[in-house]
Amino acid sequence: MRKIGKVLVIVLALVMLASVAFACGDETAGSGAASGSGGQSSDGSSGNQSPPAASAAPASPAASSSPQSPPASPAASGSPQSPPASTSVPAQSAEPAAPAADITVESGVLIMATNAEFPPYEFWEGSKIVGIDAEVAEAIATKLGLTLRIDDIDFDAIIAAVTAGRVDMGMAGMTVTEERKQSVDFSTSYAMGVQVIIVKEGSPITDVDDLFDIGGFDIGVQEATTGDLYTTWDLEDEGLATITRYRRGADAVQALVTGRVDCVVIDNEPAKAFVAMNPGLVILETEYAVEDYAIAFAKGNTALRDAVDVALRELIADGTVKKIVDKYIGAD
Q: How many CB atoms lie within 10 A of CB 215?
A: 12
Q: Supply φ then ψ for residue 208, to 5 degrees.
A: -55, -40
- Looking at the Cβ atoms of 45 and 189, the one nearer to ligand GLN is 189
- Closest by Cα among 204, 170, 191 to 304: 170
List, as one string, the DSSP characters of 113-151. Answer: EE-SEETTTEEEETTEEESHHHHHHHHHHHHHT-EEEEE
Least separation in angstroms between residue 35's CB and ligand GLN is 33
Residue 135, phi then psi, degrees to nearest 5: -75, -40
Q: Indicate the residue among 61 and 131 with the shorter CB distance to ligand GLN.
A: 131
Beta carbon nearer to ligand GLN, 229 or 282:
229
Residue 294 or 298: the one with the smaller Cβ distance to ligand GLN is 294
Provide the minimum distance between the beta carbon of 180 and ligand GLN in the complex, in angstroms, as a whole number. Answer: 8
Question: In Å, what is the CA distance from 271 to each residue of 155, 194, 322?
Answer: 16, 10, 20
> Rounded to an integer, what distance in angstroms lies between the CA atom of residue 269 and that of residue 117?
12
**Are the beta carbons of 118 and 112 closer than 8 angstroms?**
no
122 vs 117: CA distance, rounded Å: 6
What is the distance between the alpha carbons of residues 60 and 81, in angstroms, rounded to a whole number? 13
Positions that interact with ligand GLN (CB under 6 A): 115, 118, 155, 172-175, 193, 222, 225-226, 267
Cβ distance to ligand GLN smaller for residue 175 or 231: 175
Which of 31/175 has CB closer to ligand GLN? 175
Nearer to ligand GLN, 60 or 114 (CB): 114
Nearest approach, Cβ of residue 227 and ligand GLN (Å):
7
Q: How near is the Cβ of 178 to ligand GLN at its closest, in Å? A: 13
CA 275/CA 289 separation, integer angstroms: 19
Distance CA 306, CA 332 (A): 32
In contact, 127 and 146? CB cutoff 8 Å: no
Q: How far is it, in rounded angstroms, from Cα 9 to Cα 84?
A: 11
Q: How far is the CB of 267 from ligand GLN (least distance, A)?
A: 5
- Min. distance of Cβ 114 from ligand GLN in angstroms? 8
Q: State in angstroms the smallest separation of the CB of 274 from ligand GLN.
A: 12
Query: Smaller CB distance to ligand GLN: residue 54 or 296?
Result: 296
Nearest approach, Cβ of residue 175 and ligand GLN (Å): 4
Burial label, 93 (beta-carbon count in 10 A; 0-12, 13-18, 19+): exposed
